[in-house]
């Protein structure tokens, strides 16, 4: 497989001791979880994680601390996922992108009345302190579950935009879809993800799912 040209540079200020294989392997489970969420294919996820660990081991520098190593290794993985998606995107058809959300009309009707105004229950109320919640495992468990529940292609495009940091123009171009289609898909993803986070974390008193 062609090596991505985009592997991140080793952070400045790194010492010269070399990366321990143990330190890298301890990150493997986390890396797998990330890759799997994004790719929804265990085999590909395992391949890319393995390649990323090998790529990291080949570099001869080490890092000031665990978190720096982690950030760096995840950046390598992220670039490999991007390369993979770029290739895979060419085989995705337009209809499978737009039609993978069968219950979209129902979700809209559940949220808005016939005049397009919020229904009482779903009307958004302010979320309690997200920054504080982001320090808890429970919060991230809810978040991952919500990401996982997005329709597959909708979720993939949302992840390309918000997780991998593509601009939406770039996503459209790569997938060969129009800007407005791309925006519609992102809008659906946000509406659904917000709703899921709202019931799972934002107002747990009224949780329904």
Partner 1 sequence: MLSCREMTEVCSAEMERPLRLGEQVSLRAHLMMCAGCANYRKQLKTLRRIMQAYAEGNATAVDPGLGKDG
Residues in contact with partner 1 by CB under 8 A are 30, 33-34, 67, 70-71, 74, 78, 108, 111-112, 115-118, 123-127, 130, 134-140, 143-144, 162-165, 168, 183, 186-187, 190-191, 193-194, 197-198, 202
Q: Which is nearer to partner 1, 151 or 202 (CB)?
A: 202
Q: Which is nearer to partner 1, 16 or 132 (CB)?
A: 132
**Alpha-carbon 123 to chain mean position:** 26
Nearest distance from residue 141's CB to partner 1, in Å?
9
**Are residues 8 and 76 in contact, defined by beta-carbon separation less than 8 angstroms?**
yes
Nearest distance from residue 193's CB to partner 1, in Å?
6
**Are residues 207 and 122 in contact, defined by beta-carbon separation less than 8 angstroms?**
no
Residue 205 has what DSSP assignment? G
Each as own residue / partner, the long-range contacts of residues 42-46 (CB below 8 Å, 24 or more positions apart, any chain) are 44/84
* Token pair 């105004």 in the structure block, residue: 117
**Are residues 77 and 35 in contact, defined by beta-carbon separation less than 8 angstroms?**
yes
Q: Which is nearer to partner 1, 59 or 139 (CB)?
A: 139
Nearest distance from residue 187's CB to partner 1, in Å?
4
Nearest distance from residue 139's CB to partner 1, in Å?
8
Q: Which is nearer to partner 1, 1 or 108 (CB)?
A: 108
Q: Which two tokens stand for residue 54?
A: 């090998």
**Are residues 158 and 150 in contact, defined by beta-carbon separation less than 8 angstroms?**
yes
Q: For the CA atoms of the chain, what is the radius of gyration?
A: 20
Nearest distance from residue 197's CB to partner 1, in Å?
7
112 φ, ψ to 5°? -120, 145
Q: Which is nearer to partner 1, 1 or 110 (CB)?
A: 110
């Amino acid at each position: 497989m062609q090596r991505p040209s985009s592997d991140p540079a080793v952070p400045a200020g790194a010492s010269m001791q070399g990366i321990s294989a143990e330190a890298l392997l301890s990150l493997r489970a986390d890396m797998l979880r990330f890759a799997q969420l994004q790719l929804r294919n265990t085999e590909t996820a395992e391949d890319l994680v393995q390649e990323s660990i090998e790529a990291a081991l080949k570099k001869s520098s080490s890092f000031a601390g665990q978190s720096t190593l982690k950030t760096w290794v995840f950046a390598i993985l992220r670039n490999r996922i991007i390369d993979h998606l770029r290739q895979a995107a060419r085989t995705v058809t337009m209809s499978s992108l737009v039609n993978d959300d069968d219950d979209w009309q129902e979700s809209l009707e559940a949220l808005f009345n016939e005049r397009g105004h919020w229904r009482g229950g779903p009307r958004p109320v302010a979320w309690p302190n997200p920054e504080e919640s982001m320090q808890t495992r429970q919060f991230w468990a809810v978040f991952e579950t919500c990401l996982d529940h997005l329709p597959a292609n909708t979720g993939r495009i949302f992840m390309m935009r918000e997780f991998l940091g593509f601009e939406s123009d770039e996503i459209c171009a790569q997938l060969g879809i129009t800007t407005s289609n791309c925006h519609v898909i992102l809008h659906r993803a946000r509406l659904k993800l917000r709703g899921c986070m709202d019931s799972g974390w934002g107002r747990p008193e009224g949780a329904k799912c």
